[in-house]
């Protein structure tokens, strides 16, 4: 899959701009605050219908405009051309057209185009709360199959409703509350066990790939381990929910289940979240993204567009070089505010200033 063109209208700081991307490496350069991350965000939005910055949709619409539009021209490996148009309203409503046909279910777009983004915020994958790591797993699973996305949404819905019930119970486990909980927990257990299984399978598949990517980037034979072993999975969610019921009612919240899971990561023998250096965390976060990218490519047969937003400024010279030398095959967009290192070899350099493209330079041999 190749994204040939991206067009932005009233998206963030862009009034109207067109980006022609190369099948290989396209560099987008510009000083701070010119719109580099905004393009990366637009590309990712097409693949997830969400802002990777977790911004509310209103923030995506240019100040003063009513709605934002992102258009993409995509060519699939079999030669099929697909045009995508996503319209984002301030209030959050999103309309999607594929080949000028309105999609009845917006989320059906998720399988049409795949994008992996790495941004400096990804440090949170290592350093941040468990939710960041769950998000990585669930987003990757959604990229692998639409049913995973539907299942995760179903889980959110169940947990929300169950929590409302628990709050209403005000700490008292009456027969009526127990009856309602029985109904919810049956659904919760089915969906929860499936999600636990999918996450565990994904983590097992990612583990060796993360380790390989990390070792290539760090240039050291560091062992990397990923541990996804939530205690509730030992007995299955139904048993764990029954055991936690009194506690759940007392606290007025669902204390057990996939919505509370974490993914532990170790570098050598040490837990990365509490022990790794900044540079090690960056490398690990990048390795996690690259691993997800490879697993998606291998499983779906479609290599996502890889967007590296401002990664080069975050890594030391050796690690930059290692990253650029080991870029996965497929289409890559690299944004940077600084100079591109000679090993970057972009096929095209796009220069942006204040939400406008001011230069587009095709580089025949990657020498700029
Ligand atoms: N909804 C919006 N309407 C208008 N301008 C916006 C909107 N959202 C963000 N901006 C502006 O877009 C500009 C560019 O943001 P962006 O994050 O893309 O910069 P960048 O090129 O990635 O910079 P840096 O190198 O600092 O990361 C910012 O100055 C921001 O104020
Ligand atoms: Mg930026």
**pLDDT digits over 181-207, tens only?**
999 999 999 999 999 999 999 999 999
Ligand nearest to the CA of 88: 1
The number of the ligand 1 atom at minimal distance from the alpha carbon of 38 is: 18
Q: Which residue has its alpha carbon closest to ligand 1 atom 17?
A: 37
Which residue bears the tokens 């760090």?
A: 218
Counting ligand 1 atoms within 8 A of each CB, the residue from 38, 120, 334 with the most, and so the one to mutate, is: 38
Q: Which residue has its alpha carbon closest to ligand 1 atom 7?
A: 12
pLDDT range class, residue 35, cuts 50, 70, 90:
very high
Q: Give the distance (Å) from ligand 1 centre to CA of residue 320.
A: 25
The number of the ligand 1 atom at minimal distance from the alpha carbon of 65 is: 3
DSSP state for residue 49 in the 8-state scheme: S
Q: With 60 as the cut, is the pLDDT of residue 117 above it? A: yes
pLDDT digits (tens, 9 = 90+) for 213-249: 999 999 999 999 999 999 999 999 999 999 999 999 9
Domains assigned to the chain: 1-114+306-368 (3.40.50.300), 120-301 (1.20.1050.90)
Question: In the predicted model, what is the mean pLDDT of the chain?
Answer: 95
**CA-CA distance, 55 to 57, in Å (whole number)?**
6
Q: Which residue has its alpha carbon closest to ligand 1 atom 8?
A: 12
Task: Give the pLDDT confidence score for residue 304 in this predicted structure.
Answer: 96
Task: Give the pLDDT confidence score for residue 368 in this predicted structure.
Answer: 42
**CA-CA distance, 359 to 38, in Å (whole number)?**
18
Q: With 70 as the cut, is the pLDDT of residue 328 above it? A: yes
Q: With 90 as the cut, is the pLDDT of residue 69 above it? A: yes
Task: Give the pLDDT confidence score for residue 244 in this predicted structure.
Answer: 97
Q: With 80 as the cut, is the pLDDT of residue 300 above it? A: yes
pLDDT range class, residue 364, cuts 50, 70, 90:
low
CB-based pocket (< 6 A), ligand 1: 12-13, 30, 32-38, 59, 61-63, 310, 337
Counting ligand 1 atoms within 8 A of each CB, the residue from 8, 35, 308 with the most, and so the one to mutate, is: 35
CB proximity list for 279: less than 8 A, separation 6 or greater:
315, 316, 319
Q: Give the distance (Å) from ligand 2 centre to CA of residue 310.
A: 6
**CA-CA distance, 23 to 264, in Å (whole number)?**
36
Task: Give the pLDDT confidence score for residue 230 in this predicted structure.
Answer: 98
pLDDT digits (tens, 9 = 90+) for 119-168: 999 999 999 999 999 999 999 999 999 999 999 999 999 999 999 999 99
Q: Give the distance (Å) from ligand 2 centre to CA of residue 50.
A: 17
Burial of 66 per CB tally in 10 Å (0-12, 13-18, 19+): exposed
Q: Which residue has its alpha carbon closest to ligand 1 atom 11?
A: 13
pLDDT range class, residue 367, cuts 50, 70, 90:
very low
Q: With 90 as the cut, is the pLDDT of residue 362 above it? A: no
Q: Which residue has its alpha carbon closest to ligand 1 atom 19?
A: 33
Q: Give the distance (Å) from ligand 2 centre to CA of residue 35.
A: 7
Among the listed residues 249, 145, 123, the one whose alpha carbon sits nearest the alpha carbon of residue 195: 145
Element (H, E) at 7: strand 2-11
Among the listed residues 60, 149, 56, 154, the one whose alpha carbon sits nearest the alpha carbon of residue 110: 149
pLDDT range class, residue 311, cuts 50, 70, 90:
very high
Q: Which residue has its alpha carbon closest to ligand 1 atom 16?
A: 35
């Amino acid at each position: 899959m190749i994204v040939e063109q991206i067009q932005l209208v009233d998206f963030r700081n862009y009034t109207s701009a067109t980006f022609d991307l190369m099948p290989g490496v396209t560099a987008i350069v510009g000083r701070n605050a010119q719109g580099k991350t905004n393009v990366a965000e637009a590309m990712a939005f097409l693949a997830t219908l969400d802002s990777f910055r977790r911004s509310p949709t209103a923030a995506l619409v240019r100040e003063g405009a009513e709605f934002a539009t992102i258009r993409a021209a995509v060519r699939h490996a079999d030669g099929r051309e697909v045009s995508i148009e996503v319209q984002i309203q301030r209030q959050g409503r999103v309309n999607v057209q594929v080949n000028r046909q309105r999609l009845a279910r917006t989320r059906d777009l998720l399988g049409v185009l795949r994008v992996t983004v790495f941004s400096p915020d990804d440090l949170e994958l290592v350093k941040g709360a468990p939710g960041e790591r769950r998000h990585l797993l669930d987003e990757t699973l959604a990229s692998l199959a639409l049913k995973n996305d539907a299942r995760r949404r179903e889980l959110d819905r169940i947990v929300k409703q169950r929590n409302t019930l628990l709050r209403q119970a005000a700490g008292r486990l009456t027969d009526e509350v127990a009856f309602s909980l029985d109904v919810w927990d049956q659904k919760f257990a089915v969906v929860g066990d499936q999600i636990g299984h999918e996450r565990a399978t994904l983590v097992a598949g990612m583990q060796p790939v993360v380790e390989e990517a990390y070792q290539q980037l760090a240039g050291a034979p560091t062992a990397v381990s990923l541990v996804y072993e939530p205690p509730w999975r030992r007995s299955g969610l139904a048993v764990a929910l029954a055991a936690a019921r009194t506690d759940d009612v007392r606290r007025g919240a669902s204390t057990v289940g996939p919505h509370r899971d974490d993914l532990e990561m170790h570098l050598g023998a040490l837990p990365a979240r509490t022990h790794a250096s900044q540079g090690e965390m960056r490398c690990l976060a990048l390795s996690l993204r690259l691993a997800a990218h490879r697993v998606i490519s291998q499983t779906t047969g479609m290599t996502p567009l890889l967007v590296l937003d401002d990664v080069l400024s975050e890594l030391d010279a050796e690690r930059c070089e290692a990253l650029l030398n080991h870029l996965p095959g497929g289409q890559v967009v690299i944004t940077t505010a600084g100079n591109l290192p000679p090993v970057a070899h972009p096929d095209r350099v796009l220069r942006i200033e204040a939400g406008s493209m001011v230069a587009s330079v095709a580089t025949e041999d990657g020498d700029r």
